[in-house]
């Protein structure tokens, strides 16, 4: 999926992307000279990265030669033992209510890795949670359900066409998965709405979410109001950010929506003001 308001655009592609910070760059040109794919050049005092030639390659010559820290890769590969080593180290500092949350991108696209990691954590009494867009084969859920305590599941729009337009996928599979999880997942399932004014904050959409919650027997919803904090990352990826044309939700409309949910007996949490 590819949602226009995404605040982690570097996670949309499964491959790590080259990120470039203009403010740190000293235009020394070392990177351009070392790129084997000739994807970087400096013209008129500006550094250009040709995204069609840049392969985010393994050599990373450009990053090795960057002395100002302007270039970096958005991700890296890590082995299961190494990642688990970090979790094992960190759990000492979490306190009794801490745990692991996998997020993305869509974590369940890396099923084997995610499954092994969750299994290991589950064995070692580490609380586990996952944030998912829901648009993945049911089997992927089935594989990890036994090792998960919580699932955060996005409901972006009840209107399948609007959903398709905004995220490049319709909501059919998502809703199917959501219904199935609500009967087959024994842990805590929390639905979330990334609230984008003008896209999914209409009364109609909220009401259909309410009836969906009623059907699935859920009593809580988490609203994530739109923010524009990912804007800089678009610049670093040299992508354009279309989410910027939508305003962030105003407090009053959030309160109205909260009241609608409350009236139907659903607890509505906004942003990080949640009990979890």
Choose between 51 and 227: whose C-beta lies nearer to another protein. Answer: 227
Smaller CB separation from another protein, 141 or 261: 261
Rounded to a whole number of angstroms, the minimum distance from the CB of residue 149 to another protein is 17
Paired tokens of 66 = 């960057």
> What are the φ/ψ torsions at residue 33 (nearest 5 degrees)?
-65, -25
How far is CA 256 from each of CA 32, 105, 223, 262, 270, rounded to the nearest angstrom?
53, 30, 12, 10, 12
Asked if residue 74 lies in contact with residue 38, where contact means CB atoms within 8 angstroms, the answer is: no
Could you give the CA distance from residue 146 to residue 130 in angstroms, rounded to a whole number? Answer: 13
Shortest Cβ distance from residue 67 to another protein (Å)? 4
DSSP H helix total and E strand total for the chain: 10, 10
Contacting positions for another protein (CB under 8 A): 28, 67, 89-90, 92-98, 224-225, 227-229, 231, 244, 246-251, 254, 270-273
Q: How far is the CB of 127 from another protein (least distance, A)?
A: 13
Q: How many CB atoms lie within 10 A of CB 180?
A: 14
Give the SS3 label for residue 200: coil
Nearer Cβ to another protein (217/251): 251
Q: Is 213 helix (H, G, I), strand (E, B) or coil?
A: helix
Nearer CB in complex with another protein: 174/224 = 224
Instruction: Report the nearest approach of another protein to the CB of residue 142 (Å).
Output: 30
- Residue from 127, 121, 129, 122 nearest 153 by CA: 129
What tokens were used for 227?
């923010």
Least distance to another protein, CB of residue 132, Å: 20
How many C-beta atoms surround the C-beta of residue 244 within 10 A? Answer: 13
Residue among 89 and 139 whose Cβ is closer to another protein: 89
- In whole angstroms, the minimum distance from the beta carbon of 168 to another protein comes to 23
Whichever of 149 and 170 has its CB closer to another protein, that residue is: 149
């Amino acid at each position: 999926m590819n949602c226009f308001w995404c605040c982690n655009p570097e996670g949309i592609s499964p491959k790590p992307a080259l990120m470039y910070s203009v403010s740190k760059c000293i235009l020394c040109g070392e990177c351009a000279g070392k790129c084997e794919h000739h994807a970087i050049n400096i013209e008129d005092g500006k550094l250009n990265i040709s995204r069609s030639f840049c392969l985010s390659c393994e050599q990373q010559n450009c990053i090795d030669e960057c002395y100002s820290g302007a270039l970096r890769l958005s991700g890296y590969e890590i082995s299961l033992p190494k990642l688990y080593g970090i979790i094992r180290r960190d759990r000492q500092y979490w306190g009794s209510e801490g745990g692991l949350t996998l997020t993305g991108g869509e974590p369940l696209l890396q099923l084997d890795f995610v499954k092994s990691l969750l299994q290991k954590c589950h064995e070692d009494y580490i609380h586990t949670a996952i944030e998912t867009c829901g648009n993945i084969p049911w089997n992927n859920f089935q594989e990890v359900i036994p090792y998960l305590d919580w699932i955060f599941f996005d409901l972006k729009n009840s209107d399948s066409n609007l959903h398709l337009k905004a995220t490049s996928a319709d909501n059919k599979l998502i809703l199917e998965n959501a219904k199935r999880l609500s009967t087959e997942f024994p842990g805590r399932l929390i639905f979330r709405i990334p609230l984008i004014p003008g896209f999914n904050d209409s009364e109609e959409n909220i009401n259909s979410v309410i009836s969906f919650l009623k059907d699935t027997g859920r009593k809580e919803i988490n609203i994530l109001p739109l923010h524009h904090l990912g804007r800089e990352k678009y610049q670093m990826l040299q992508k354009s950010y279309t989410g910027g044309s939508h305003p962030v939700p105003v407090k009053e409309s959030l309160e109205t929506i909260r009241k609608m949910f409350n009236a139907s007996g659903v607890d509505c949490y906004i942003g990080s003001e949640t009990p979890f």
